[in-house]
Amino acid sequence: MTEMRWDVAPGDRPSIPASEQNASSGFLVYTLGLLLAVILTVTSFWVANTSAIWAPGVPAGLTVLAIAQMGVHLVFFLHITTGPDSSHNVLALAFGVLIVFLVLAGSLVIMANLNENMMVHSELMNLQMQR
Amino acid sequence: MNVAVEMDAVRRSALLNLSEAGPAPKRVIAGFGFWTFLLSDIVMFSALFASYAVLAKATAGGLTGVQLFDQRNVAMETALLLLSSYTCGMMSLAINSRRYLATFLGAVATFLLGAAFLALELREFQGMIALGATPQRSAFLSAFFTLVGSHGLHVTVGLAWLVLMMVQLSLRGFQDVVVRRLHCFSLFWHALDIIWVLIFTIVYLMGVLP
């Protein structure tokens, strides 16, 4: 049982003592994750195609659903938890998320700003491209 | 709930301070290293996502996403990849309890579902190219093929890796090194599914909104 003393590797089940660990609990975790992911995916497709939701709110709704589903995948499939034995993995993930956010938000803001301030040029480009 | 709290206390006390614990076992180091690689891969994908989001409207008078994307096809691709992630999880469980037959069955199911996903994606690309929507037609299409194609390339690499691991498993059995590699493979496969969640949301669902 020396392994219990270490951080868990990402994807490892949290280090529950062997006496508590039964074969069905892992199966249950994956099945629950699959169910949640299916529900979120179906909801995403429904949100994109329905007219019951205020149209400008749809992208925000889809974003929330996607983030929720990524969370489900991280917890149920990759077993990244907030437990004390998984802190290195969570910290690495937090750094990754920070970089992803900087790359995405930075590119989008800068390019939107450029587009706005170079309207004439972009219109010219469109004229040239439309044969 | 009391039991859960007590369990947590047991786990906490079982965890030594870092200064007392000494070097971590190889399994933990390999897993953490591969997790770091996966995060860097996700950072690379974020750059592709950013360029797609910037160029999504730059269709240059060519076909747009609304005309090209078939939601039924995307829903089927999503279902296939999600199921293959699930069977990959089943394979991990079988590996943990060292069951050969269940591991091979899980691997076969994962491979077939992944290959079906890839076939659907290639058919979709073929249909788009037949309509004249090639990568060189517009900036939007260049970004689309780069982003979705990179994901497809990752899936292809994953499938090849899975075959390789099954060969290793049948030759060498459940050696530590083989189990570590299988563990890294399952991390890789689940991470690909996470990226696909973003692709179907941002590219296919948001791309067809009016």
Check B32 against A17: CB less than 8 A apart.
Answer: no
pLDDT exceeds cutoff 80 at A18:
no
What is the average pLDDT score of chain A? 79
pLDDT at A71: 92
Check B191 against A100: CB less than 8 A apart.
Answer: no
Please tell me the distance from the alpha carbon of residue B209 to that of residue B204, in angstroms, as a whole number.
Answer: 9
pLDDT at B160: 96
Alpha carbon distances (Å) from B74 to B48, B71, B84: 19, 5, 15
A83 close to B (CB below 8 A): yes
Is the reported ipTM for this assembly greater than 0.90? no
Check B42 against A92: CB less than 8 A apart.
Answer: no
Residues of B in contact with A114 (CB under 8 A): none
Average pLDDT rounded to a whole number, residues A90-107: 93
Check A9 against B31: CB less than 8 A apart.
Answer: yes
Nearest by CB to residue B31, choosing from A11, A16, A129, is A11
CB B204 within 8 A of CB A43: no
Please tell me the distance from the alpha carbon of residue A7 to that of residue B158, in angstroms, as a whole number.
Answer: 27
Check A15 against B14: CB less than 8 A apart.
Answer: yes
Helix (H, G, I), strand (E, B) or coil at B173: coil
Residues of B in contact with A3 (CB under 8 A): 25, 27
Q: How far is CA B103 from the centre of its chain?
A: 19
Instruction: State pLDDT tens for residues B148-173.
Output: 999 999 999 999 999 999 999 999 98
Residues of B in contact with A44 (CB under 8 A): 200-201, 205
- Please indicate whether residue B144 or residue A122 has the higher confidence score (pLDDT): B144
